[in-house]
Amino acid sequence: MHNFVFFKDMPGSGPKNYPCTLCKKRTKPDERRPVNKDTRKILRKCFMIDCADGVLCRKCRHKCGNLKPTSSCTEKSRVPPCATPIQSPVGKSTVVSMKSPPSVTLPLQSTANTHAYCVLCRRPGPKLVVVPAQTRFTFFLEQNILISSGARCCPVHIVNDTINTESIENLVPPKGTSFVNRTTIMELVEQLREEALQRGSKRIDFDDPSSLSDKDYLTLTGLRKCDFDDLLLHVQSADVRPSKTRTVRTCLAIFLTKMKTAMDNNMLGVLFNMSKPQIRRAVSSIRQVLSNKFVPNHLGFKHITRDAVISEHTRPLAKELFSPTFNQAILVLDGTYIYVQKSSQFSFQRRSYSMHKQRHLLKPMMIVTTTGYIVSAIGPYLADGKNSDAKILNHIIGTDTEEIKTWLQEDDILIVDRGFRDSAGVLADLGIQMEMPSFLQKGHKQHKTEDANSSRLITKIRWVVESVNARIKTWRYLARQLPNSQIPYVGEYVRIISALCNKYRPPLSSGDEENDLQTAAKMRHLSTQTNLLQTEVESNNLQKKRYVWRKIDDENIVIPDFPQYTEEEIRELTLGVYQVKLAKHYTQEHMSQEGYELWVDHHQPGLLAVKIKSRHTSSKSYLCWIRFEEGAVTSWYCCCKSGARVVGTCAHIASVIWYLSFARHSRVNLELSKNWLDSVCDAAIIPEVAEVVDESDSESEAMEE
């Protein structure tokens, strides 16, 4: 028996605090025990605590008694019987010693150590759950914030063993330091070691929540991590069975990575550590599941009602321009191209060759709303002359594909390009309006003002279908040339990607309602106007007048009283961003190329004549006239095909206005794109070679003289 000395409070000095040397808790007089020589050795060896004197509570004294070493003990026998294995991130069990009290302060951020409320949002219980060990480690790895063992949080914060993004954004500011024990440090070291070994042995691992970031998911699959998890639920609900080589999550990742990056099966096999046949089976199984379970809910005329398209997926600008009753469905149609290999089957080779693109391809028909929502993707069709856009639309209506004739109603509007001109009669029989840009009249070089104005109203809305075609091509598998073996599945691939865009991508064009209404009112008003400057130019025969052309340069020529605009004001003048974008590149070429110059002549006050080269043909130039007065541009006219319109300007007029009213005053950087002419050889440039004189002949002639 040991003779224990009990410490008594000194009389007259008030109560004295005797904290436990190991757990730092205050000890009661009947529970505290002094630290003897043997206990001091145990504290120094097992807990790295060096103390000359002190006390231990009853609980810590029993811990030290269980850890008392013997002369014959080995390293293995020193592990206490109560030690329990902990699960590492890769499923390996590691035996660690029993948990020790907090003893080390580290400069690591940490959450509060409490069971009474959530450590993430500080919401009190009782409906709290213990944060799993894997979740705590993943949170530390990604956010560098330590969550203590046994901490509790709200169940909504944890999704798939990870803390969701919203909870991280709303996280209560953590403490600046962490008070940890040896057990916690050893767990972190072991988990980090296993994580490093795991990442070094595996190339891409979608099964590990911490292996890839949200940016990695977006780069490899085209979807964010939360969107990928949501899509996985649709696949898992279809009872897709995992195999020995890959899980369902990995199977979905293989398919999306193939669609996004267009890598072949051999390269995917290297990245996912699988064989080529295994990759092929994974892609095939996910393609079938998504086509049967996911696509019907997010694509096709049967998945969305006509009223939903009118109320939720129609831009206010389109309603104001084409649907004054606001009860008409407005759809935009266009065919896109999926390139395929040249087939050895001659009949298919002939029918898949496009004279327009001079390539072998297939044509899906895209039907979208004015906000970019894809209503349906029908096809694909062949590419020969018997499958023009108009004939494809006639076939869709004639066969009532997806019950389109039931979905459409009288006075609904289809916005198309000029390739659908032969469908006008078919649509008129159904009472459907067709809005199409006008054709250039035979024998004319320029559209009439009213035709150019009406065409601009259509192109203001129709661009969205071109952007949809570009969006689905961001999954590069649809932008590359597909092998002949994949021709039967082209339609499924297009519909799957279209459904993914509908579900997980924002609208291409939503537009602010107030701005749309103002823009529509302005465009409708201008569309009824005539181009007065064009009338003046033609009546005074200004096209044939001789001008004293001078290069636009701040040092050589000054145009007084020309108004100054901001870029926003220029966009309001041009009624579009595309013309302003081209204007910057026109100006860049003017400033950087000696062979291309912007020439002007201001022969009349307030009237500016400009000669500007075509960006397509080197030998062609356009004459432009701009009238300005009282600090504003009032009218314009250009000799290009669409230069007579007053609903906005052409790119040639926009380039002159942008440079004179904005660029030369703000000194913007005109290096918009790299000039590659100096990096490529030009056979048209042949340097002059100096005549070579033979010195021996010269010497001989001199000696003869």
Q: What is the 3-state secondary structure (H, E, C) of 83-146?
A: CCEEECCCCCEEECCCCCCCCEEECCEECCCCCCECCCCCCECCCCEECCHHHHHHHHHHHCEE
Q: 């062979």: which residue's tokens?
A: 595
The per-residue pLDDT for 495 is: 96
pLDDT, tens digit, 9 for 90 and up, residues 657-669: 888 888 877 776 6
What secondary structure letter does DSSP report for 340?
A: B
Residues 6+ apart with CB under 8 A from 674: none
Mode of pairing for the β-strands spanning 359-369 and 374-381: antiparallel
Q: Which residues of the chain have pLDDT under 50?
A: 1-14, 70-98, 554, 595-596, 702-703, 705
Rounded CA separation 450/436 (Å): 14
Rounded Cα distance between 468 and 454, Å, is: 23
Give residue-wise pLDDT tens across range 431-485: 999 999 999 888 888 899 999 999 999 999 999 999 999 999 999 999 999 999 9
Give the pLDDT of residue 597.
Answer: 56
**Are the beta carbons of 622 and 638 closer than 8 angstroms?**
yes
Q: What is the CATH number of domain 306-519?
A: 3.30.420.10
Element (H, E) at 230: helix 225-236
Domain ranges of the chain: 1-78, 202-298, 306-519, 530-677
Taking CA atoms, 42 is separated from 69, 130, 296, 354, in Å, by 8, 32, 69, 85
**pLDDT value at residue 68:** 61
Q: Name residue 240's amino acid.
A: V
How many Cα neighbours within 13 Å face the side chain of 384? Answer: 7
Q: What pLDDT, on the 0 to 100 scale, is given for residue 144?
A: 84
Tokens of 538: 């033609």
